[in-house]
Amino acid sequence: MMAACAFLLKGQKGRGGRRAARRRVGAGPAFGKGGEMTEDLEKLKSMAAEAALAEIEPGMTIGLGTGSTAALMIARLGERVAREGLAVRAVPTSARSEALARAAGIPLVGFDAVTELDLVIDGADQIAGPALDLLKGLGGALLWEKIVADTARRLVIIADHTKRVARLTPPLPIEVIPFGVEATARKIA
Q: How far apart are CA 48 and CA 27, in angstroms?
A: 6
50 labelled catalytic? no
- Which of 39, 98, 145, 182 is catalytic? The answer is 145
Q: Which helix (H) or strand (E) holds 116?
A: none
Say which amino acid occupies 73.
M
Q: Which helix (H) or strand (E) holds 3?
A: none
Q: Which residues are bridge partners to 91 per DSSP?
A: 63
Residue 61 in contact with residue 117, Cβ under 8 Å? Answer: yes
Give 108: exposed, middle or buried? Use CB within 10 Å, 0-12, 13-18, 19+. Answer: middle
The residues carrying an active-site annotation are 145
